[in-house]
């Protein structure tokens, strides 16, 4: 049996899984008739959106998840992020993971000069009367639970919207939220 591979733009409000005990949660299987045995390579939390890779091949999943592959995120943060905060993100910050503290590895962080051209989110974030926001690009090679959100909060700029735009050489480009593209192979 040939393995199948997919690129998905996970919309806001969906879990990165096919089965859950939680009631009234939106799941990936609602978006496309994925074949049995399809698994998400990594996860995006329910409030995050963007690029998600899926496969029926466990070896491909393992290679991408544990191979030091870059993952780039665009984060809209509360406030106008400073150069000092960006430098702290790049050096690594201490975040909480369950009951332990974790030091993130060095990453790339830069301010985006303009808001990215992303589709509007289904749930409004907030309006301008709550103060300014800014957008940053953060590129990691690790992926801990809610890591980007915890990192931006650790430097004083909580994340309001989070979109993964790239995994390795695979880009989200203009794939619409909820859209799925089947590909011949996944190499990050």
Active site residue 45: yes
Closest CA to 157 of 76, 101, 44, 74: 76
The residues, ordered by sequence, that sit 6+ positions from 72 with a Cβ below 8 Å of its Cβ are 137, 138, 139, 164, 165, 166, 167
**Which of these is catalytic: 21, 45, 99, 128?**
45
The DSSP symbol for 130 reads G
Q: Is 31 exposed, middle or buried (0-12, 13-18, 19+ CB in 10 A)?
A: middle
Cite the active site residues: 45
């Amino acid at each position: 049996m040939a393995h199948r591979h997919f690129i998905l733009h996970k919309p806001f409000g969906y879990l990165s899984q096919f089965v859950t005990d939680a009631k009234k949660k939106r799941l990936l299987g609602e978006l496309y008739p994925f074949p049995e045995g399809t698994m998400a390579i990594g996860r995006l939390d329910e409030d995050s959106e963007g690029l998600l890779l899926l496969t029926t091949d466990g070896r491909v999943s393992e290679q991408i998840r544990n191979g030091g592959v870059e993952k780039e995120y665009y984060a809209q943060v509360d406030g106008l992020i400073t150069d000092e905060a960006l430098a702290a993100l790049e050096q690594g910050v201490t975040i909480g993971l369950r009951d332990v503290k974790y030091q993130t590895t060095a990453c790339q962080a830069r301010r985006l000069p303009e808001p990215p051209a992303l589709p509007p989110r289904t749930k409004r974030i907030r309006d301008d009367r709550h103060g300014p926001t800014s957008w940053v690009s953060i590129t990691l090679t690790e992926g801990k639970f809610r890591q980007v959100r915890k990192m931006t909060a650790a430097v004083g700029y909580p994340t309001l919207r989070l979109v993964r735009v790239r995994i390795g050489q695979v880009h989200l480009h203009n794939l619409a939220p909820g859209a799925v593209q089947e590909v011949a192979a996944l190499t990050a």
